[in-house]
Amino acid sequence: MTVKLSSLFEHPNCLLSRRNRHQFLVTLLVNIATFSHGLGVGWMSPVMRDLQTDQSPLDFPVLVEQVSWIGSLVGIGSVMGNLLAGTLMDRIGRKLVLFGIAIPYMTFWCLIYFVQSVEFLYVGRLMAGMTGGACYVVLPTFISEIADTNVRGRLGSIILLSVNMGVLVGYIVSSSVDYFASPPFIIALPVCYFICNFLFPETPHHLIRKGKFEAARESFRFYKSIKKDDIKAESEFEHLKFHLTKDESANSKALSYKDFVTRPALKAIGSASVLLICNQFSASFCITTYLSDVFAASHTTLNLSMCTIVIGVLQIVGNYVTTLLCDKYGRRILMLTSTSGAAVCLLAFGFFTYYAKDNNLSVVGWLPLAILSIYVFMCNIGMVGCLFVVVVELFPAKIRSVSVSTFVVILSSTVFLTLKIFPICMAVWGISVTMWCSSGITFSCFLYFCFFLEETKGKSLLEAVVEFCGSRMLVKLFNRPNCLLNRRNRYQLLTTLLINLISISHGIGIGWLSPTLRKLQLDSSVGFQITSEFEISWVGSMLGMGSVTGNILVGTLLSRLGSKRSLLLIAIPHSCLWILVYFAKSVEYLYAGRLLAGICGGGMYIVHPIFLSEIADANIRGTFSAMVMLSVNVGILLGYIMGTHLSYFTIPWIVLVLPIAYFVSVLLFIKESPMHLIRSGKYSEAERSFRYYKNIKDTDNINDQHRAMEDFDNMKAVLTKGDQLKDAITFKDFCTRPALKAYGPALVLLIANQFSGLFSMVNYMSDIFAQSHSTMDPNTCTIIIGAVQILGTYVTTLLCDICGRKLLMLVSTAGVAISLTGFGFFTQYAREHDVSEYSWVPLLLMSMDIFLGNIGLVGCFFVSLVEIFPVKIRAKAASMAIVICSCFVFVMLNILPICMKQWGISATMWSCAGVAAFSFAYFSVFLKETKGKSMLDD
SS3 string of 589-617? HHHHHHHHHHHHHHHHHHHHHHHHHHHCC
CA gyration radius, the chain: 29
pLDDT reading at 925 higher than 80: yes
**Whose CA is closest to 717, among 938, 936, 488?**
936
Cα(61)–Cα(79) distance, integer angstroms: 29
* DSSP conformation class of 486: S
| In contact, 394 and 268? CB cutoff 8 Å | yes
* DSSP conformation class of 640: H
The count of other CB atoms within 10 Å of the CB of residue 359 is: 9
Cα(651)–Cα(784) distance, integer angstroms: 20
Domain 479-695 of CATH type 1.10.150.120? no
pLDDT tens-digit map of 479-521: 566 666 667 777 888 888 888 888 888 888 877 776 777 677 6
pLDDT reading at 12 higher than 50: yes
| In contact, 169 and 40? CB cutoff 8 Å | no
What letter represents residue 709's amino acid? M
Q: Is 57 helix (H, G, I), strand (E, B) or coil?
A: coil
Q: Return the ∠ at Cα 789 (arms to 520 and 573), rounded to 5°.
A: 55
| In contact, 38 and 285? CB cutoff 8 Å | no
What letter represents residue 150's amino acid? N
Cα(893)–Cα(901) distance, integer angstroms: 13
The pLDDT of 626-630, averaged and rounded, is 73
Torsion on CA atoms 764, 766, 768, 769, rounded to nearest 10: 160
pLDDT of res. 249: 43
Cα(551)–Cα(653) distance, integer angstroms: 27
| In contact, 719 and 872? CB cutoff 8 Å | no
pLDDT of res. 469: 36
Domain locations in the chain as residue ranges:
11-200, 261-470, 479-695, 742-937
If pLDDT is split at 50, 70 and 90, which confidence band does 936 have? low
Domain 11-200 of CATH type 1.20.1250.20? yes
| In contact, 923 and 817? CB cutoff 8 Å | no
pLDDT reading at 653 higher than 60: yes
pLDDT reading at 659 higher than 50: yes
Cα(194)–Cα(253) distance, integer angstroms: 38
* DSSP conformation class of 469: I
Backbone angles phi, psi at 784, to 5 degrees: -60, -40
If pLDDT is split at 50, 70 and 90, which confidence band does 669 have? confident
pLDDT of res. 475: 43
Cα(612)–Cα(867) distance, integer angstroms: 12
Alpha helices in 147-262 (DSSP H): 149-176, 182-186, 188-196, 204-209, 213-224, 231-245, 248-251
Cα(499)–Cα(611) distance, integer angstroms: 10
Alpha helices in 204-330 (DSSP H): 204-209, 213-224, 231-245, 248-251, 263-281, 284-289, 291-296, 304-325
The pLDDT of 794-804, averaged and rounded, is 70
Q: Return the ∠ at Cα 895 (arms to 927 and 920), rounded to 5°.
A: 20
Cα(691)–Cα(357) distance, integer angstroms: 71
Q: 778-803 vs 841-853: helix axis angle to the nearest 10? A: 30
Percent of the chain with pLDDT over 90: 1
Q: Which residue has the higher pLDDT, 767 or 686?
A: 686
Cα(705)–Cα(117) distance, integer angstroms: 56
pLDDT of res. 165: 78
| In contact, 322 and 314? CB cutoff 8 Å | no
Q: How far is CA 870 from CA 250, 721, 809, 934, 936, in A?
A: 35, 15, 20, 11, 9
Q: Which of 435-439, 694-698, 796-800, 909-913 has the lowest mean pLDDT?
A: 796-800
Q: Which residue has the higher pLDDT, 812 or 86?
A: 812
pLDDT of res. 471: 35
pTM of the full structure:
0.46
Cα(828)–Cα(16) distance, integer angstroms: 66
pLDDT reading at 656 higher than 80: yes
The pLDDT of 580-603, averaged and rounded, is 82
Q: How far is CA 754 from CA 762, 857, 858, in A?
A: 11, 9, 9
| In contact, 443 and 343? CB cutoff 8 Å | yes
**Whose CA is closest to 367, among 675, 561, 359?**
359
**Whose CA is closest to 283, among 424, 464, 418?**
418
Surface-to-core class of residue 494, CB atoms within 10 Å of its CB (0-12 exposed, 13-18 middle, 19+ buried): middle
Q: Which of 352-366, 441-455, 470-484 has the lowest mean pLDDT?
A: 470-484
pLDDT reading at 131 higher than 60: yes
Q: How far is the first Cα of the chain from the last one, in angstroms, to the nearest whole number?
A: 82
The pLDDT of 637-653, averaged and rounded, is 78
pLDDT tens-digit map of 517-575: 767 766 656 666 666 666 766 776 677 677 778 777 877 787 778 888 888 888 888 88
pLDDT of res. 933: 62
The count of other CB atoms within 10 Å of the CB of residue 233 is: 18
Looking at the domain that runs over 742-937, which CATH code has it been given? 1.20.1250.20
The count of other CB atoms within 10 Å of the CB of residue 344 is: 18
pLDDT of res. 320: 64
Residue 290: alpha-carbon gap to chain centroid? 23
The count of other CB atoms within 10 Å of the CB of residue 92 is: 13
Residues in the chain: 938
Domain 261-470 of CATH type 1.10.10.10? no
